[in-house]
Chain A
Amino acid sequence: MSDVLVVSEHRRGELRDVSYEAITAGRELADARDGDLHVAVVGGDVDRFAEDLNRQGVDAVHAVSNGEEFDHNVYQSAVGALLEGTGAEAVVIPNSVNGLDYAPAVAEAHGYPLVTDAIGFEYDDGLTVTREMYGSKVETTVDVTGDQFVLTVRGGEWAPAEGVGDATVEPVEVDHPESGARVTGFEEVGGGDVDIADADVLVSVGRGIEEEENLELVEDLADALGATLSASRPIVDNGWLPKNRQVGQSGKVVTPDVYIAIGISGAVQHVAGMKGSDTIVAVNTDPNAPIFDIADYGIVGDLFDVVPELIDEFA
């Protein structure tokens, strides 16, 4: 028997959804290991958070009252104290920007193997994790030696834990080193004249457009269709379009009636931002591009051939 510790995530007063998904993953692990499920919440309004995290299957919620927002030093110290206090030897952490700011340090500090970005797992004699490689083109199974580990889980892969549990809520305060990384504030980015989240029809452009000069082509298409222009990350990284046009995990989440992906391969971070669209159309040269997995209509072809023809259709 061996317990499992799930560390929840919150930001600016709200628990993030992946916290409940991590609880589901943690419960599966705890069942396989015949152990209890501990859930930690660190900082902020821990009493309110602890109440929300008390879902079916949770045996104990540890409300660590240090600090307000995310601080990796506090999280590391809290996890260390809870591993010692609970005897848990498996840690589940959301595979988020903040999760990846402390999970590797936790694994390193405790000498635990680390597997990140899990999309599934099996637990028999030991842990076998399913995760992607090569930009989502393949999946792999990874065997972990031993029964101690840190696992980070991708958002949206497990159903969120529901119901109300009968967990004990334990207030905790931990000692932690003075932080050498101090959060001084937050900034919203991507504001400006256009809100792509309001658009009914989006023409969205990706790496396949190749050159900044070629953007005119998709601008013309957007004009012809009466659509708004959006983009995947590389276009914004290159400075070809402003941040407020970016669809995806670090940009905007959009749910238009029609989303037309032009030269977008459909990396998981992009798909997270547009999979809720009613109708998805994709034009891409690569028939194996993951965008076709979520598309309703696909054209396997060169955007430089197809898009001019499509503009003509609406001219």
Chain B
Amino acid sequence: MKVLVTVKEVAEPDDDFAVEGTDIAASDLEYDLNEWDDYAVEAAVQLAEAGIADEVVAVTIGPERAEETVRMALAKGADRAVRVWDEAFEAGFADVAAKVTAFEAVVETEDPDLVLGGVQAADTGFGATGVALAERIGFEHAAVVNDLEVDDDAGVAHVHRELEGGVEELTDVDLPAVLTVQTGLNEPRYASLRGIRQAQRKEIDAKDLSALGLSVEDVESSLAITSMYEPESESDAEIIEGDAGETASRLAEVLREKGVGA
């Protein structure tokens, strides 16, 4: 079977950051592979190692800068990658449907049996693309999967969905399917030196909208970010000042007052 893994390069703000306009200043952002997607990549690579997946293709929507992140997925064992980008995405804040339209076009070409992606992206935190994609392409789906076993012969994925409050739902999902992967599903590997070398030779196929048979109107967003700000701190905490010894001493006093360590 063929597995498509959606990955995203996410931006993480530094401890000190400034908001410029409707986003965080670019100089205060660092980029990395989305943590949830790292687990999805690992799940796909494990399926390949188990002889269940014949090919693992990573797909991302992102600018050229994102190739570094995509190479990480390749270094961890994805066979090749597709990177979708277009000026149209630079203009504003892509909504879920716009992303799904781009992924749908890639799915049409790649024809996967299983699509894996993270539950959510660490930066925007929508948590919606996978399930919306499944609806668009007519696949089954399961969101927030933290245990996965694929029975290729039966055409079923046995999954656990992590519900709130320490309860897991056990579900059988017919393939083809889109599964959104929760952290903790597996132990994402570090890329080996050999993997990193091999990744340099793997293909990243960059496609713009016209290469996907799409136009700018197809990815028009229904959403616009109109402001961004740091929430006012509601903190009424007593911040204990001083060096480590002084702060520990004052905290010890507080804790003893509360009866701790008595």
Contacts and interface: CB of A to CB of B under 8 A. Distances in A.
Contacts of A282: 237
Interface string B138-176: 001111100000000000000011111111111111100
Interface residues of A, number: 98
B258 A257 contact: yes
A189 B258 contact: no
Contacts of B22: 140
A101 B164 CA distance: 13
A97 B260 contact: no
Contacts of B174: 180-181
Interface string B20-37: 001010000000000000
Contact of A309 (B24, B161, B166, B244): B244
A286 B143 CA distance: 32
Contacts of B183: 233-234, 237
A251 B184 CA distance: 13
B258 A181 contact: no
B231 A138 contact: yes
Contact of B259 (A100, A257, A302): A257
Interface residues of B, number: 85
Given A113-B222, A113-B223, A98 B163 contact: yes
A210 interface: no
Contacts of A306: 244, 247-248, 251
Contacts of A185: 169-170
Interface of B: 11-13, 15-17, 19, 22, 24, 93, 95-97, 100, 119, 122-132, 134-136, 140-144, 160-174, 177, 183-184, 187, 222-231, 233-240, 243-245, 247-249, 251-252, 254-255, 258-261
Interface of A: 11-12, 70, 72, 76, 96-98, 100-105, 107-109, 111, 113-117, 128, 131-146, 180-190, 201, 224-227, 233-234, 236-239, 243, 246, 249-253, 257-258, 260, 279, 281-282, 285-288, 292-302, 305-306, 308-310, 312-314
